[in-house]
Chain A
């Protein structure tokens, strides 16, 4: 099942949360939103509130400050300002902000960790065509 398969609870539905930016779709969550399950999305996701499960997107994933994510993340760019627990794959770049907390194995092409961030896990860097679909 490679269609969108998401269970959204809380204040915003997927339709409400979806906005267009530069012609690219953006799935926008708020601090009170909860996403549980697996989301495969052609666009970018702004993750806030609570996320559990799996996010695979063609664009970027942005984990907001204060967000709590326990999920497998796969995106072009991943930016973590909140707390993330789970495997992360950034086809391009992973950025860990100063308040970011990441616990899990990471596969990236580029990596930036700001001072103050917390990271625990294995970092692998380089090209990973074969890994595109994840493990």
Chain B
């Protein structure tokens, strides 16, 4: 559902959004994936359901249900659990961002990262993407990948502009308008 929309908007590079068959969602059974102690994942993983990690993960994890890092599980990377995240006593989570609905960290666990908690922080991961259209059009058009690329470019400039404007003159202002055309002309 919205999970795929989120995923596709957040992963510009590697993949096109895969349409999910309706019955996959509505068969009532919750999907559950387990990475055992000898398993290892490098990259990104999105699970519609629950995820249990006892192995090693380097990369991003996202699940619409619960994520449990158990046993000697080690996760190095961003983690998003729409419902609940559990970090077990022998487990380790070193993350940039941790977005969860609920969080349990057991004593003895290794845990570092920036925690954002509550349903709102999980379902709208990035405020910029909030006004984006619903998931249906995105599944159809394969276009959205290149489109976001140019847009972020001026944004830092705008931020800099505000700071610079306070310090000195707003030199950036005229420069910023022509930026949309790619490549600098001289």
Contacts and interface: CB of A to CB of B under 8 A. Distances in A.
Interface of A: 93, 95, 110-126
5 contacts: A95-B107, A113-B105, A118-B118, A121-B114, A125-B111
Given A120-B115, A123-B112, 17 more contacts: A95-B107, A111-B105, A111-B109, A113-B104, A113-B105, A115-B104, A117-B103, A118-B117, A119-B103, A119-B117, A120-B117, A122-B114, A123-B111, A123-B115, A124-B112, A125-B111, A126-B112
B116 A120 contact: yes
B117 A112 contact: no
A119 B102 contact: no
Interface residues of B, number: 18
Interface majority SS (helix, strand, loop, mixed), chain A: strand
Nearest to B94: A125
Contact of B110 (A115, A118, A125): A125
Interface of B: 84, 102-118
A111 B118 CA distance: 20
A115 B102 CA distance: 7
A11 B108 CA distance: 39
A123 B113 contact: yes
Contact of A123 (B102, B107, B114): B114
Interface majority SS (helix, strand, loop, mixed), chain B: strand
Contacts of A122: 113-115
Nearest to B86: A115
A95 B108 CA distance: 11
Contacts of A115: 84, 102, 104
A110 B109 CA distance: 7
A78 B181 CA distance: 55
Given A122-B113, A123-B112, A124-B112, A112 B118 contact: no
B111 A111 contact: yes
Contacts of A125: 110-112
A112 B87 CA distance: 10
The 4 closest A-B pairs by CB, nearest first: A113-B105, A112-B107, A122-B114, A115-B104
A120 B113 CA distance: 10
Contacts of B112: 123-126
Nearest to A103: B117
B145 to A, nearest CB: 31
Contacts of A113: 103-105
A111 B91 CA distance: 12
A107 to B, nearest CB: 10
A112 B114 contact: no
Nearest to A125: B112
Contacts of B106: 112
A93 B112 CA distance: 14
A121 B103 CA distance: 13
A120 B109 CA distance: 18
Contacts of B102: 115-116
B183 to A, nearest CB: 39
